[in-house]
Chain A
Amino acid sequence: MPGLTYDAGVGAAVVDSGADGPPEPSAAELHLLVTRVVRARVGNHPAAEDLVQETVARVLAASDRIDGGIEAYAVTTARNVIATMWRDEARFQRYQPRMVDLDEPDAPDMGVLAGEDQVAVRRALESLSVQERSLLLAHEVDGTSLATLAAREGTTAGALGAQLRRLRARMRAEYLIVASHREPPTERCRPVLVAVALRDQRRWREAGVDDHLAGCDFCADVAGPLLESSQQDSGRVAIDVAKDHDVVEARVAVRRLAADLGFDRSDVTLVATVVSEIARNIVKFAERGRMTFEPARSRPGIRIVARDRGPGIEDVELAMRDGYTTYGGLGLGLPGARRIMDEFDIESVPGRGTTITMTRYRKDTR
């Protein structure tokens, strides 16, 4: 790390103020200070070291503009950097459902998200060549027909259609890479993601998608929404839950899907009872939310996701305890749900909402 530029080559005014106040910290001290601030806020978050580096870099870059008080500046910068990361993480978590489910309930922050969405789309578009971009825009935005475009480009409609299909797949892959705020770790990542986005089995094989996904955490993460969207139509049901009667609607919907998926009668009722409890929690505590039911991925089963932006649960562990009640002598139904579901996961942030994800497999495959 270079010496703190603050000491060298700065104006007289700064030197003066340095002489008046306490001596400004060295780069090593600054690093220590920032580390302390960051660790106090994010603990052992995997990104902690990155956050420290980022903060130190910003402080150093700005040090010739600061008149003393560099410590205070560093602390504030660290806070901002951390806040940005939390925002990005929260946004990414919200992006994931949006990638597969474009009609999420509206929320006050949708406008901001849409703006950030546009940024990602724009960056994805920038990854295409000028000619490719104009082709895509002409067809998708201006609605120019394939035949017209083909005549203009001196090719056939079929060839152009195939080219557009590949362009769209590249867009989707780029979009997800941008939204992940990370760089693909290997050269193979991009072709693999494009193959996934293309949903073409031959390319899938040629690009060695399965092998790569098994070994590359980055791609496994980023490709998640693409893999999900390829299953999107296979029996996914979403129910908005806000009123008493929506609880019944949710039961009816999950019953139908579970029966379609081959669950036997008692399993269907069991799952419907769990859904009833969870849906009621949403109505009671969060006022509104959404439940989605879909076939499980790995083997025959049903996956249930309940998402709300309600007050959240202060003490999840307490709520998971048998016999825990918050109203009218009733439990939240959470302990029972956790007991009978094969997979159960609850995430709750006070003031932000609760997401419950659970899966039950058909008993013949459990």
Chain B
Amino acid sequence: MNDTFTEPGSWDHAPAEDLEQLLPQLVAHLRERRAVLQEQWSARIQEAHLLEAMTPQEIAAETESVYDNYVEVLETGSVEALQDYARDLSERIIPRGVETHEVVGIVLLLRDVLARSLFEKYQQDFDLLNRVLDAYEPAANRIANTVAVSFVDERERVIRQQQDALRELSTPVLPVRERLLVLPIIGVLDGERARQLTEQLLDGIRRHRAKVVVIDITGAPEVDATVANHLVQTVDASRLMGASVIITGLSPTIAQTLVTLGVDLSKMNTIGDLQGGLEEAERLLGYVVTREEASAS
């Protein structure tokens, strides 16, 4: 996330004249030594037991692209292309089970391999070496950050997608007939799921232009005050969208408990079972239809 960390702040600029002269030299050197350095890098990756989920051919192909991208960033100073590549790479390797530390690890290895090569080339002139490293290090750190952040972002996105898919499966909003939705709640209704469910229900109300919603809680194992308050919120939010809600499956004993706990059930239209709820829903809808027909004639 924190990629401003190594970015040279206004106080930390290496002198511009230095960068302009040094970077092209540095880039040329790294291009020239590409084959050797890439081989060294691959060897280090193997030694460190990184990317073991991938075949040597795959590693060779990816390291080649990473190397070229890396040098390009040094040359242009723009991480955009690298970002795209890193995201694309992450998308391919995340399903293979590659971990964050491996990705960060290989990029840091590359950084060190290149730094060593620069060191060897410039070690005769200590001052020049210092300047080269001053120019190289911030850029290299920035690259490492970019790759790590892209990978983590991509990973989070995949995880989120999977979670969303799971949630969606567990709370279907069923359009039973025109303007009538049924929402059976199955499983534990915690705070996060209640939000999710309300969200889906409200979208469903808009999409199906629903006037009445039947929420059936027969399948919810526990209905305590917290769950009941979530339900009250869901009912209120549906009403704001112009839909009435009927709750079914609330047993008399639970209703009694909730009232004792101080949950306000007065705003809730509750009916014993789903069948009764559907009948009431139709009555509500029929009422509206009759009046509309009356006023239209």
Chains A and B share a contact (CB less than 8 Å)? yes
The residues of A that contact B195 with a CB separation of less than 8 Å are 266, 363
Tell me whether A53 is interfacial, beta carbon within 8 Å. no
Nearest CB of chain B from residue A271's CB, rounded to whole Å: 14
Contact call B137/A161, Cβ cutoff below 8 A: no
Secondary structure dominating the interface of A: helix
Residue from B5, B13, B134, B192 within 8 A of A201 (CB atoms): B5
Q: Which of B47-55, B56-64, B156-164, B284-292 contacts A (4 or more CB under 8 A)?
A: B156-164
Q: Is the CB of B18 within 8 A of A201?
A: no
Is A295 in contact with chain B by the CB < 8 A criterion?
A: yes
A202 within 8 A of B: yes
**CB of A232 closer than 8 Å to a CB of B:** yes
A231 to B141, CA, bound (A): 16
A158 near B4 (CB under 8 angstroms)? Answer: no
Say whether B137 contacts A202, CB under 8 Å. Answer: yes
B2 touches A231 (CB 8 A): yes
What chain B residues lie within 8 Å of A186 (beta carbons)? none
Report whether A266 and B199 are in contact in the complex, using a CB–CB cutoff of 8 Å.
yes
Q: Which of B3, B4, B17, B131 contacts A159 (CB 8 A)?
A: B131
Asked if B83 is at the interface of the complex by the 8 Å CB criterion, the answer is no
Most chain A C-beta atoms within 10 Å of own C-beta, residue among B1, B2, B6: B1
> Which residues on the B side are within 8 Å of A202 (C-beta)?
137
Size of the chain B interface, CB-CB below 8 angstroms? 27
Find chain A residues with CB under 8 A from B17 CB: 147, 157
Would B11 and A158 count as touching, CB distance under 8 A?
A: no
Pair B192/A230 contact, Cβ less than 8 Å: no
| Contacting pair B11 A156 (CB below 8 A) | no
Q: Is the CB of B141 within 8 A of A201?
A: yes
Q: What are the interface flags for B184-208 relative to A under an 8 Å C-beta threshold, 1 for contact and 0 otherwise?
A: 0000000010010001000000000
Chain B residues within 8 Å of A161, by CB: 13-15, 18, 134
Q: Once the chains are docked, how many angstroms separate the CA of A300 from the CA of B160?
A: 13
**A156 vs B199: C-alpha distance when bound (angstroms):** 63
| Residue numbers in A under 8 Å from B160 (CB-CB) | 364
B252 within 8 A of A: no
| Interface mask (B149-179 → A, CB under 8 Å = 1, otherwise 0) | 0000000100110010000000000000000
A230/B4 contact (C-beta < 8 A), A158-B131, A364-B159, A364-B160 known: yes
Q: Which of B5, B134, B199 contacts A230 (CB 8 A)?
A: B5
Residue contact B14 to A230, C-beta cutoff 8 Å: no
Chain A, residue nearest B202 (CB): A266
The listed residue (A146, A199, A364) touching B6 by CB distance below 8 A is A199
Enumerate chain A residues within 8 angstroms of B3, measured Cβ to Cβ: 234
- A157 engages B12 (CB within 8 Å): no
Interface status of B130 (Cβ within 8 A of chain A): yes
In the complex, chain A residues whose CB is within 8 Å of the CB of B130: 158-159, 162
Question: Is A366 engaged at the interface, CB distance under 8 Å to the other chain?
Answer: yes
Are A158 and B18 in touch, CB under 8 angstroms?
Answer: yes
Q: By the criterion CB–CB under 8 Å, are A234 and B15 in contact?
A: no
Query: With a CB–CB cut-off of 8 A, which chain B residues contact A201?
Result: 5-6, 141
Is residue B127 within 8 Å, beta carbon to beta carbon, of the partner chain?
yes
From 161 to 199 in chain A, residues with beta carbon under 8 angstroms from any chain B beta carbon are 161-162, 165, 168, 198-199
Cα A363 to Cα B141 with chains together (Å)? 31
Given contacts A158-B15, A161-B14, A199-B6, contact A364 B163 (CB under 8 A): yes
Interface size class of A (residues with CB under 8 A): 20 to 34
A295 adjacent to B14 (CB under 8 Å): no
Q: Which B residues are in CB contact (< 8 Å) with A315?
A: none
Contact with A along B4-27 (1 / 0, CB 8 A): 111001011111011000000000
Instruction: A295 to B141: give the CA distance in the assembly, Å.
Output: 22
Determine if B5 and A199 form an interchain contact, defined as CB atoms under 8 angstroms apart.
Answer: yes
Give the chain B neighbours of A147 by CB distance below 8 A: 17
* Cβ–Cβ contact B2 & A230, under 8 A: yes
Residues on A with beta carbons closer than 8 Å to the beta carbon of B5: 199, 201, 230-231
A residues less than 8 Å from B1 (CB atoms): 234, 295, 300
Interface pair A158/B134, CB less than 8 Å apart: yes
CB within 8 A of A366: which of B11, B12, B14, B192?
B192
Q: Is the CB of A156 within 8 A of B131?
A: yes
Tell which of A162, A165, A364 touches B156, judged by Cβ atoms closer than 8 Å. A364
Interface centre among B15, B156, B195, B199 (most CB of A within 10 A): B15
From B4, B131, B192, contact of A232 by CB (8 A)? B4
Contact B2 A199 (CB under 8 A): no
- Measured between beta carbons, the chain A residues less than 8 angstroms from B159 are 364
**A168–B11 CB distance below 8 A:** yes
Question: How distant is the Cα of A199 from the Cα of B134 in the complex, in angstroms?
Answer: 13
Query: Using Cβ atoms and an 8 Å threshold, which residues of chain B touch A199?
Result: 5-6, 9, 12
Assess whether A211 is interfacial by the CB under 8 Å rule. Answer: no
Residues of the B chain whose Cβ atoms lie less than 8 Å from the Cβ of A363: 192, 195
Contact with B along A285-316 (1 / 0, CB 8 A): 00000000001000010000000000000000
By beta carbon, the residue of chain A nearest B237 is A266
A168: chain B residues within 8 A (beta carbon): 11-12
**Smallest CB-CB separation from B161: which chain A residue?**
A364
Report the bound CA distance from A300 to B1 in whole Å: 9
- Expressed in whole angstroms, the minimum distance between the Cβ of B197 and any Cβ of chain A is 12
Q: How far is the CB of B240 from chain A (nearest CB, A)?
A: 13
Q: How far is the CA of A231 from the CA of B134 in the complex (A)?
A: 22
CA distance A158 to B163 in the complex (A): 51
- A109 interface residue (CB < 8 Å to B): no
Are A234 and B4 in touch, CB under 8 angstroms? yes
A sample of 11 more A-B contacts (CB under 8 A), given A156-B127, A364-B159, is A146-B15, A147-B17, A157-B15, A158-B18, A161-B14, A161-B134, A162-B134, A199-B9, A232-B4, A233-B4, A364-B163
Q: What would be 20 A-B contacts, judged by CB atoms less than 8 Å apart?
A: A157-B17, A158-B14, A158-B15, A158-B127, A158-B130, A158-B131, A161-B13, A165-B12, A168-B11, A199-B12, A230-B9, A231-B2, A231-B5, A233-B4, A234-B2, A300-B156, A363-B192, A364-B160, A365-B156, A366-B192
The 3 tightest CB contacts between A and B, nearest first, are: A158-B131, A364-B160, A161-B15
Residues of B within 8 A of A (CB): 1-6, 9, 11-15, 17-18, 127, 130-131, 134, 137, 141, 156, 159-160, 163, 192, 195, 199
